[in-house]
A and B are shown apart, each in its own frame.
Chain A
Amino acid sequence: MRIAFKAGALAAVAALALTTAACSSPASTGDTDGASSDSGPVNLTYWAWAPNMDKVVDIWNKSHPDITVTVNKQDGGDAAVTKLLTAIKAGSGAPDLMQAEYQKIPTLVSAGALKDLSKLGAASTKSDFTAGAWNAVTLGSSAIYAVPQDTGPMMFYYRKDVFKKLGLKAPATWDDYAKAAEVIHKADPTQYLGTFSSGDPGWFAGLTQQAGASWWSISGQSWGVDIDSAASKKVASYWGGLVQKGVIDNDPMYTPAWNAALNDGKQVGWISAVWGPGVLAGNAGKTKGDWAAATLPQWTAGANANGNWGGSSTAVTAQSEHPQQAMQFIKWLNTDPTAVKALAQIANIYPADVHATDSALTTAPDFFSDQSDFYQVAAKASAAVQPFTYGPNVNVAYSAYTDAFAKAAQAKQQSQFLSALSSMQSTTTSDLKKSGFSVK
């Protein structure tokens, strides 16, 4: 027999299947805040990816037998958000609590994935956080979609032994950085001061944030997209120039090759964030004691501007049946001194709580044990973070970054870095317009 392709049979199967599919169109569950009033013991699930978060949560579980929180460890921010959005569309399967990166909040809010915590008493935590972090979880509105958990002010790590040998000082400006990159690469052609990573859109966003860019904006009822602003162009063309010259590497970060390069001294600097020491300890363990931490080089000598790379909040999902209990836990996790201390020391993150942080972070991370002022430098970096607004389609902009800048980095052409930026801008804008968002 041959492959039967008879219209009648197809129609029969289609009809059968249709009855199954018809009752399955996904609808997000209604926003019934504080619906549950049960006082019995409740179980909350918490999707998080910060290391050892389960151990931090254990502290809570010991003292709160009525509200048990179970951590479901996730691969990372992107994977968790992907799954959450699918669960929201499907109408079930979402956890109660979610570790959400700041840049994902507008996307999650727009998908109706998060509960508004303003009626659950979240406002009382406002004084614990910087204005910037608070703005990221409220999107400048009266709603509160999450409570800040940790932040990622950018920092610059470099091999002080290599710098010393070549008579270089920690770069105060990006000009200094470019010169240092050239000196280092000339002295040893296998060495680079850094790499331009097409795999890390958050890293590039942070660099443009430092230069004064804000990729999205809200004015009235419209979104603005400003990815190819003058500030972003300045950053793109700067890195494009370094890559074109060949004094900076062009391969992505976070590959086995990059790890190896950090460990064997081929990469002698890393533009990273406050959480960098944990990564360096893992991938460049044998270089411990050779590194120094500094604030990011500046565009204007003497200025103190910075960007964020990473950082996340804790949110309650729209499908949670116990929002009140969830809110209780979130408040404890992110503002209670014991919890914040545990976040810093067990989960190795830089807590967003400004009061608790001073007391929780006193000794430098182990990898930088010879730099006693590590957290003073971090505090300076944290205070200098510039305002930045994320839009509802960060994911689109970020994946456009990955594709466009991969091509540019591969081509090693400064001009392509600029066209990559405008391709990001047009992809992001047209995606917003296509979905019907009002775009300025």
Chain B
Amino acid sequence: MTAVTQTAPRPAVAKRRRRDLRSRVLTPYAMLLPGIVLFLAFMAAPILYTVVLSLQTVKVEGLGLGPDSRSVVFAGLENYANSLADPEFGASVLRVFLYGLIVIPLMLGFALLFALLLDSKRSRATRFSRVAIFLPYAVPAVISSLLWGFLYLPSVSPFVFLANLLNVPVPNVLGPNLVMFAVANIAIWGGVGFNMIVIYTSLRAIPSDIYEAARIDGATEVQIAWRIKIPIVIPSLIMTALFSIIATLQVFAEPTTLRPLTNSLSTSWTPLMKVYRDAFTRNDIYSAAATSVLIAVGTFVLSFLFLRVVQRRAFGQED
């Protein structure tokens, strides 16, 4: 992983030996079997089942209290039409886009900045910093939201306490205007460290003689960072951006945990919260399934477009 200049050994070498069909096709598939079986059982089947559910709905007769008053019927695309026409769904999608516009640039920006600082020979306390900044990754979202929730609540927040001492007015971060930042902050807090490590890893893979030469030419650390380091870690940045986009569209745990603390988060604040509410609170898993499928397709399209835009740099190596 350290040699950048050396090209990766190509699997095509295996072709040199002519082998029979059995070992050429059956062996790899036999070895892939555990992965494929698990994938089919716990990902493909549930996904397909979701699709089946999304095409159904429940019909009730009369009061709906007798034993046979409830039946599952085929609904066609009705659930999809309802989902798309639901203003709550549209609002939640829009909200998530805004949320992503806050989270992704800030999170990746800080991650890149910290990674560069860690990599810089002029920084001190790097070992400690690396561990400390990475630490939040160990904290489950449910627990980190709980911790930040306590720090946000005006009556228990240390920030409000200090601000009151100094007689500075503080806005309520859980109020309707700022609540998105409050949620975004938790995501950034939890994600900066992980993305920093990803970028830092690819920075460490660069042989140092590449910038020794630049240093001799009188380039500053900042110039080295901009001209050499950042272009080299672009593929890593693309991948972290892609995974951040996916994670953003799936934001769920943070706002759900914060919701009981404030009037500003509705039960359909993000698309997945709406899915959860429809499936569990409203007991309508059929429309929840349709919304899930829409989210999954949306995620796929967006990731695909993103990779297209960045010229499939990250996946280009083996075709």
Q: Are A17 and B40 in contact (CB under 8 A)?
A: yes
Q: Is the CB of A438 within 8 A of B61?
A: yes
For residue B156, which residues in chain A have a CB less than 8 angstroms away from its CB?
256-257, 260
Contacts of B69 in A (CB 8 A): 110
A252 at the interface (CB under 8 A from B): yes
Shortest Cβ distance from B268 into A: residue: A403
Partner of B49 from the list A24, A395, A435 (CB cut-off 8 Å) is A24
Q: Are B260 and A255 in contact (CB under 8 A)?
A: yes
- Across the interface, name the chain A residue whose C-beta is closest to B43: A17
| CA distance in complex: A13, B149 (Å) | 43
The residue in chain B whose Cβ has the minimal distance to the Cβ of A16 is B40
Q: Report B-chain residues with C-beta under 8 Å of the C-beta of A393.
A: 282
Q: Contact check: which of B60, B262, B268, B312 meets A252 at CB < 8 Å?
A: B262
Name the residue among A13, A17, A406, A435 with the largest chain B CB count within 10 angstroms.
A17
Partner of B40, one of A13, A82, A250, A431: A13
Within 8 Å CB of B52, what residues of A? 21, 25
Residue of A nearest to B39 (CB): A13
Residues of A within 8 A of B61 (CB): 436, 438
Q: Are B267 and A403 in contact (CB under 8 A)?
A: yes
- In the assembled complex, the CB of B115 is this many whole angstroms from the nearest CB of chain A, namely 27
The one of A257, A260, A396, A410 in contact with B261, judged by C-beta atoms closer than 8 angstroms, is A257
- Verify if A392 is at the interface (C-beta below 8 Å from B): yes
Interface membership of A109, Cβ < 8 A: yes
* Mask of A128-150 contacts with B, CB within 8 angstroms, 1/0: 00000000000101000000000
Q: Are A255 and B70 in contact (CB under 8 A)?
A: no
Residues of B within 8 A of A260 (CB): 155-156
The CA-CA distance from A106 to B64 in the complex, in Å, is 9
Do residues A89 and B267 form an inter-chain contact, with CB atoms below 8 A?
no
A61 interfacial by beta-carbon distance below 8 Å: no
Q: Verify B155–A261 contact, CB threshold 8 A.
A: yes
Give the distance in Å from the alpha carbon of A31 to the alpha carbon of B68 in the complex: 10
Question: Which residues of chain A are near B59, meaning CB under 8 Å?
Answer: 435-436
- Are B176 and A410 in touch, CB under 8 angstroms? yes
A406 adjacent to B63 (CB under 8 Å): no
- Interface-facing stretch out of A151-159, A217-225, A321-329: A217-225
Contact yes or no, A18 B263, CB < 8 A:
no
> Chain B contact residues (Cβ within 8 angstroms of A): what range?
35 or more
- Could you mark each residue 390-418 of chain A with 1 if its beta carbon is under 8 Å from any beta carbon of chain B, else 0? 00110110110011001101100000000
- Given the interface pairs A257-B153, A261-B155, the reply to whether A106 lies near B261 with Cβ below 8 Å is no
Given the interface pairs A396-B282, A438-B62, the reply to whether A3 lies near B67 with Cβ below 8 Å is: no
Residues of chain A lying within 8 A (CB to CB) of residue B263: 198, 250-252, 406-407, 409-410
Contacts of A63 in B (CB 8 A): none
Is there an interface contact between B65 and A110, defined as CB atoms closer than 8 Å?
A: yes
Interface residues of A in 233-264 (CB under 8 A from B): 250-252, 254-257, 260-261
Across the interface, do B48 and A399 meet the contact criterion of CB distance under 8 Å? Answer: no
Number of interface residues of A (CB under 8 A): 60
Complex alpha-carbon distance, A83 and B155, angstroms? 34
Q: Is A232 an interface residue (CB 8 A)?
A: no
Residue of A nearest to B44 (CB): A17
Q: Is B129's beta carbon under 8 Å from chain A?
A: no
Contacts A250-B263, A406-B266 given; does A106 touch B281 at CB 8 Å:
no
Instruction: Kindly list chain A residues whose C-beta atoms are within 8 Å of the C-beta of B60.
Output: 110, 392, 435-437
Q: How far is the CA of A402 from the CA of B269 in the complex (A)?
A: 12
Residue in A112, A139, A222, A402 whose CB lies within 8 Å of B67: A112
Determine how close the nearest CB of chain A comes to the CB of B39; give it in whole angstroms. Answer: 9
CB-based nearest B residue for A395? B281
A393 to B47, CA, bound (A): 28
**A1 beta carbon closer than 8 Å to chain B:** yes
- Asked whether any CB of chain B lies closer than 8 Å to the CB of A111, the reply is yes
Give Cα distance in the complex from A213 to B312, angstroms.
Answer: 62
Residue B304 interfacial (CB < 8 Å): yes
Q: Which of A178-231 contact B (CB under 8 A)?
A: 198-199, 218, 221-223
Cα distance A106–B60 in the bound complex, in angstroms: 13
CA A407 to CA B156, docked complex, whole Å: 23
Q: A392, B312: Cβ atoms under 8 Å?
A: no
CA distance A141 to B69 in the complex (A): 15
- Residue B316 CB within 8 A of the other chain: yes
Q: Is B159's beta carbon under 8 Å from chain A?
A: no
Asked whether any CB of chain A lies closer than 8 Å to the CB of B128, the reply is: no
Q: Do B44 and A16 touch (CB < 8 A)? A: yes
- Nearest A residue to B280 via CB reads A82
CB distance from B229 to the nearest CB of A (A): 27
| Residues of B with C-beta under 8 A to A165 | none
Answer whether residue B130 sits at the interface, using C-beta atoms and an 8 A cutoff.
no
Contacts of A16 in B (CB 8 A): 40, 44
B277 x A399 contact (CB < 8 A): yes
The answer to whether A399 and B260 touch (CB under 8 A), given A17-B47, A111-B70, is no
Interface residues of A in 285-335 (CB under 8 A from B): none
CB A221 to nearest CB in B, in angstroms, measures: 4
B285 within 8 A of A: yes
Chain B CB within 8 A of A39 CB: no
Q: Does A37 contact B (CB under 8 A)?
A: no
B65 and A392 contacting across the interface, CB-CB below 8 Å:
yes
**How far apart sit A218 and B62, CA to CA, in the bound complex (Å)?**
11
For A17, list chain B residues within 8 Å (CB).
40, 44-45, 47-49
Query: B293-319: which residues lie under 8 A (CB-CB) from chain A?
Result: 304, 307, 312, 315-316, 318-319
Question: What distance in Å separates the Cβ of B145 from its nearest Cβ neighbour in chain A?
Answer: 13
Assuming A78-B281, A89-B285, A111-B70, is B318 touching A139 (CB within 8 A)? no
**What are 20 inter-chain pairs, A to B, with CB distance below 8 A?**
A2-B307, A2-B315, A2-B319, A3-B315, A16-B40, A25-B72, A110-B69, A251-B263, A252-B263, A255-B153, A256-B156, A257-B156, A257-B261, A261-B155, A392-B63, A392-B64, A392-B65, A399-B277, A403-B268, A410-B175
Q: Which 9 A-B pairs have the closest CB atoms?
A: A406-B263, A17-B48, A20-B45, A17-B44, A436-B59, A257-B155, A221-B62, A410-B263, A21-B49
A residues adjacent to B (C-beta < 8 A)? 1-3, 5, 13-14, 16-18, 20-21, 24-25, 31, 78, 82, 85-86, 89, 106-107, 109-112, 139, 141, 198-199, 218, 221-223, 250-252, 254-257, 260-261, 266, 392-393, 395-396, 398-399, 402-403, 406-407, 409-410, 431, 435-438
Given contacts A254-B260, A438-B61, 18 further A-B contacts (CB under 8 A): A17-B40, A17-B49, A20-B40, A20-B48, A21-B49, A111-B283, A252-B262, A256-B156, A266-B155, A393-B282, A395-B282, A395-B283, A399-B281, A403-B266, A403-B267, A403-B268, A435-B284, A436-B59
